[in-house]
């Protein structure tokens, strides 16, 4: 028997009599803030965030479109009458006054649902609409996501279509606006109490007690500072301190770990995050202390730096509703905890974090992580759709702060060999060094007048530890400990030498050391801003590595004998090199097409680049026999394998390797060693046995760096990994003039 179509189903009498217009006033549509998330076929509706999601699709619905969808989703017998639907959504005037907008909203929903055909809006008797749910249409696939932001809003389309009506008025107003802005800027400069581009004239220590003091935030008057203090005993609470010095006053207490405080614009509240055994929450507390009030959750890796809206009515923070989704920025209303989406990263990328609102209250700076370890500063006009990319080198960022006039942003990042505070002027130009202190600086915060800059000063040396392959074996002494930030150690094929990255002297370089200890020396001399993932060639003559130079991330090689350096890729977005076992190929990951894929090129060349993957790839290592290629994807958990030649199928080896640890794995002998991060537990060294596919857990490694690196040690009986020493993090304040 032929299956009836959706339209035929919509016309059947099971819908009952045609719906009639109701007499009297109509009830309002459901309040999205009070409607729980629900499924429509293959789609997920999230009313509180005004989002419609499915797999790789994340759509933002404007208010009218969302209300139409919620009314249709009630699915009353007979459907929803067209005039009644319009009246309940648009109020008085109904369809007559809003016909064009009503049609656009309905067309948007129909076009969206048509992507896989699982949901349809069909016409029914009585001029009604019926929402039908069925199976996806075979052969249909979702549209490909944009590479920067995935956001579709009928309101934006409507504004574009009507742009011509306002063009004359816009031109007339443009001259007035330019004059007004010029006068305002001159006034700001002439008043003398607002710093546009301040220079550091003095630096003083504020909080230098044992432990880690982090995330400073000034009170609105600039006289006090709130920060999180993790004491040596492991407890972490909030403290308030006068900028002029004196003792610190405890603001919070209890079993949870409190972090990321931020003072409200009025000074009446301090927002922070509390992590406990039951999860993560965003809370507010009076600056005088008392019992905090919970606003919402920040689970699944959400949380981090937060920023207040200028009216103090809402707070923007990093949110994630499931472990497999990208982080996005949302605002939470202080009054009732209502969540509203602010940014919409593409599903699959790590996502957005670190929001910082400009003094004007209209421009939002934030970090967008497109792949693990590759971050850029973004700028979004609130109410707009597409953020602007401010930095383009993918270097890590560790906090941002707006200067008072809203014309520049200060951020923490390792650039030009200095892990320091930098300034970017939004009018253009290269980054400017604001302050360097010899150790990494993090989390800048400015007073409202821009004359005081607080920041974290980190002293976190690492040691290249030896981790026993036998979990029952006693701890081994470290292979080396030099008091600097060292990582990414790799052993040569003959086990006689070790290469590693070290920032001793204030700049990332490759260093060579004898495997048995003794002589060591810097290998690279190039002025690299950042350096990572060295790999030996099979014959031990060359080392490939990834580095940032002139704001471009590329693969380089260095001749071990002569120190001669050579760039191997020139697309500005390549990293994670490795050699084939026979020494004929150089593998690397590249985002030259907008998505990270694995490539290879002949070694030592010449020859063209060959793309190996189509579904994503970042870092690859050949199997010991050279037949297979193991690799990590930037967009999802797992260790994967494929044939080393172009084409072929991808196979999941084990799902326990997370993308953040794409540098923390190694193929050695009959095993693949990697770092796994079980939810709710400390990072752990795991072994995947190639013979039977079993995963066993060996040693817990608390605090292991995401860029630690993992390698079989020269003795063949242990692993080398960079583990952090005890961190001392102090808060200092710089004076700007």
Is the domain of 452 the same as that of 466?
Answer: no
Is the domain of 485 the same as that of 592?
Answer: yes
Is the domain of 377 the same as that of 411?
Answer: yes
Q: What confidence score (pLDDT) does residue 175 get?
A: 54
Structure tokens belonging to residue 345: 């990263």
Instruction: Write the CB contacts of 512 (distance below 8 Å, at least 6 apart in sequence).
Output: 497, 498, 499, 520, 521, 523, 560
Q: What confidence score (pLDDT) does residue 506 get?
A: 73
Structure tokens belonging to residue 232: 């040596």
Q: What confidence score (pLDDT) does residue 125 get?
A: 82
Q: Output the CA torsion sign for 352, 354, 360, 361.
A: positive
C-beta separation of 528 from 546 below 8 A: no
**Main-chain dihedrals φ then ψ at residue 730, nearest 5 degrees:** -110, 160
Domain end call among 150, 166, 189:
150
DSSP 4: P
Is the domain of 344 the same as that of 373?
Answer: yes
* Residue at 156 is within a domain: no
Is the domain of 134 the same as that of 270?
Answer: no
Is the domain of 437 the same as that of 477?
Answer: no
Q: What is the CATH number of the domain that holds 62?
A: 1.10.10.10
Q: What is the CATH number of the domain that holds 667?
A: 2.120.10.30
CA distance 49 to 352: 16
Q: Output the CA torsion sign for 307, 311, 315, 316.
A: negative
Q: What confidence score (pLDDT) does residue 726 get?
A: 74
Residue 126, exposed/middle/buried by CB under 10 A (0-12, 13-18, 19+)?
A: middle
* Residue at 170 is within a domain: no
> Closest Cα partner for 366 from 286, 17, 374, 375?
375
Is the domain of 606 the same as that of 643?
Answer: yes
C-beta separation of 723 from 682 below 8 A: no
To 10 degrees, the CA torsion angle through 481, 482, 485, 490? -60
Structure tokens belonging to residue 603: 């070694």
Q: What confidence score (pLDDT) does residue 287 get?
A: 96
The Cβ of residue 357 has, within 10 Å, a number of other Cβ atoms equal to 20
**Main-chain dihedrals φ then ψ at residue 385, nearest 5 degrees:** -115, -35
* Residue at 734 is within a domain: no
Q: What confidence score (pLDDT) does residue 150 get?
A: 30
Per-10-residue mean pLDDT of the chain, 737 residues long, equals 39 36 69 85 84 72 89 89 87 75 87 85 86 80 38 35 43 51 44 60 92 95 95 91 93 92 97 91 96 91 91 94 84 94 83 93 91 82 84 84 92 78 87 84 94 91 85 71 83 94 86 85 87 95 92 92 95 93 96 88 92 92 94 87 89 89 92 86 90 90 87 89 86 94
**Domain count along the chain:** 3
Is the domain of 452 the same as that of 483?
Answer: no
CA distance 132 to 647: 40
Residue 133, exposed/middle/buried by CB under 10 A (0-12, 13-18, 19+)?
A: middle
Residue 73, exposed/middle/buried by CB under 10 A (0-12, 13-18, 19+)?
A: middle
Structure tokens belonging to residue 359: 């003094």
Q: How far is CA 685 from its chain centroid?
A: 25
* Residue at 182 is within a domain: no
Q: What confidence score (pLDDT) does residue 338 get?
A: 92
* Residue at 369 is within a domain: yes
- Long-range contacts at 434-437 (CB < 8 A, ≥ 24 apart): 434/200, 434/410, 435/200, 435/203, 435/734, 437/203, 437/732
Is the domain of 453 the same as that of 481?
Answer: no
* Residue at 164 is within a domain: no
CA distance 621 to 579: 8
Which residues form the domain of 671? 462-724
Q: What confidence score (pLDDT) does residue 33 get?
A: 79
- Long-range contacts at 171-175 (CB < 8 A, ≥ 24 apart): none
Domain end call among 413, 431, 458:
458
Structure tokens belonging to residue 372: 């693990």
* Residue at 175 is within a domain: no
Domain end call among 124, 150, 176:
150
Ordered DSSP codes for 170-189: HHHHHHHHHHHHHHHHHHHH
Q: What confidence score (pLDDT) does residue 7 get?
A: 34
Is the domain of 444 the same as that of 490?
Answer: no
Structure tokens belonging to residue 277: 């055994």
pTM attached to this predicted model: 0.57
CA distance 52 to 54: 7
> Closest Cα partner for 330 from 309, 361, 359?
309
Q: Are strands 542-549 and 530-536 parallel, antiparallel or unpaired?
A: antiparallel
Q: What confidence score (pLDDT) does residue 373 get?
A: 65
> Closest Cα partner for 568 from 538, 600, 536?
600
> Closest Cα partner for 475 from 461, 489, 463?
463
Report the SS3 class of residue 330.
strand
* Residue at 622 is within a domain: yes
Q: Which residue has the tokens 């579709």?
A: 152
Is the domain of 449 the same as that of 471?
Answer: no
CA angle 318, 320, 323 (to 5 degrees): 135
At what angle are helices 94-113 and 63-73 packed, to 10 degrees? 80
Is the domain of 428 the same as that of 475?
Answer: no
CA distance 170 to 177: 10
Q: What confidence score (pLDDT) does residue 451 get?
A: 92
């Amino acid at each position: 028997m032929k299956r009836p179509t959706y339209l035929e189903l919509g016309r059947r009498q099971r819908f009952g009599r045609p719906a009639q217009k109701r007499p009297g006033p109509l009830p309002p549509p459901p309040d999205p803030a009070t409607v729980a998330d629900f499924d429509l076929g293959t789609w997920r509706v999230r009313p509180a965030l005004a989002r419609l999601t499915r797999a790789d699709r994340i759509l933002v619905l404007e208010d009218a479109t969302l209300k139409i969808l919620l009314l249709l989703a009630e699915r009353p017998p007979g459907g929803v009458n067209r005039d009644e639907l319009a009246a309940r959504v648009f109020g008085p005037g109904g369809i007559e006054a809003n016909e064009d907008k009503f049609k656009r909203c309905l067309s948007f929903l129909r076009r969206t649902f048509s992507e896989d055909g699982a949901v349809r809006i069909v016409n029914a008797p009585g001029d009604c609409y019926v929402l039908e749910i069925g199976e996806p249409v075979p052969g249909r696939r979702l549209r490909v996501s944009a590479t920067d932001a995935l956001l579709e809003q009928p309101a934006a389309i409507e504004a574009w279509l009507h742009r011509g009506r306002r063009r004359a008025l816009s031109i007339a107003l443009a001259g007035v606006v330019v004059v007004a802005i010029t006068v305002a800027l001159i006034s700001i400069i002439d008043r003398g109490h607002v710093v546009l581009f301040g220079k550091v004239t003095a630096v003083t220590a504020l909080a230098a007690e044992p432990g880690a003091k982090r995330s400073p935030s000034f009170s609105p008057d600039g006289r006090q500072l709130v920060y999180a203090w993790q004491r040596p005993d492991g407890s972490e609470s909030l403290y308030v301190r006068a900028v002029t010095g004196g003792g610190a006053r405890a603001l919070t207490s209890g079993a949870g770990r409190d972090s990321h405080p931020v003072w409200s614009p009025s000074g009446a509240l301090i927002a922070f995050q509390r992590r406990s055994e039951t999860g993560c929450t965003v809370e507010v507390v009076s600056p005088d202390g008392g019992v905090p009030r919970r606003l919402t959750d920040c689970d699944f890796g959400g949380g981090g730096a937060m920023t207040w809206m200028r009216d103090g009515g809402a707070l923007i923070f990093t949110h994630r509703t499931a472990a497999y989704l990208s982080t996005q920025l949302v605002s939470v209303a202080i009054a009732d905890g209502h969540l509203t989406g602010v940014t919409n990263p593409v599903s699959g990328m790590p996502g957005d974090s670190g929001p910082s609102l400009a003094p004007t209250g209209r421009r939002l700076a934030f970090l967008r992580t497109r792949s693990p370890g590759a971050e850029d500063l973004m700028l979004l006009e609130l109410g707009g759709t597409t953020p602007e990319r401010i930095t383009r080198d993918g270097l890590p960022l560790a906090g941002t702060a707006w200067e008072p006039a809203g014309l520049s942003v200060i951020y923490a990042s390792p650039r030009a060999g200095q892990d320091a505070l930098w300034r970017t002027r939004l009018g253009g130009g290269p980054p400017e060094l604001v302050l360097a202190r010899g150790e990494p600086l993090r989390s800048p915060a400015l007073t409202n007048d821009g004359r005081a800059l607080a920041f974290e000063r980190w002293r976190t040396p690492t040691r290249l530890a030896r981790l026993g392959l036998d979990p029952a074996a006693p701890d081994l002494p470290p292979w080396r400990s030099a008091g600097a930030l060292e990582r990414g150690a790799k052993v040569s094929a003959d086990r006689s030498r070790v290469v590693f990255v070290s920032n001793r002297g204030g700049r990332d370089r490759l260093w060579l050391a004898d495997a048995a200890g003794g002589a060591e020396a810097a290998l690279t001399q190039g002025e690299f801003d950042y350096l990572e993932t060295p790999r030996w060639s099979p014959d031990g003559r060359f080392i490939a590595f990834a580095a940032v130079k002139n704001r471009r991330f590329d693969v380089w090689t260095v001749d071990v004998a002569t120190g001669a350096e050579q760039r191997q890729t020139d697309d500005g977005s390549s990293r994670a090199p490795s050699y084939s076992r026979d020494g004929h190929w150089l593998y690397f990951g590249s985002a030259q097409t907008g998505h990270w894929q694995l490539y290879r090129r002949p070694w030592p060349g010449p020859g063209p680049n060959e793309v190996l993957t189509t579904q994503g790839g970042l870092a690859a290592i050949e199997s010991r026999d050279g037949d297979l290629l193991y690799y990590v994807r930037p967009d999802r958990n797992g260790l994967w394998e494929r044939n080393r030649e172009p084409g072929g199928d991808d196979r999941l080896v084990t799902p326990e390797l997370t993308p953040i640890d794409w540098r923390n794995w190694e193929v050695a002998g009959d095993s693949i060693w990697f770092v796994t991060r079980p939810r709710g537990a400390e990072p752990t060294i795991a072994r995947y046995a190639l013979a039977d596919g079993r995963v066993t857990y060996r040693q817990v490694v608390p605090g292991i760096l995401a860029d630690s690196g993992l390698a079989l040690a020269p003795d063949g009986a242990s692993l080398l990994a960079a583990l952090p020493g005890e961190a001392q993090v102090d808060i200092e304040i710089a004076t700007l003039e």
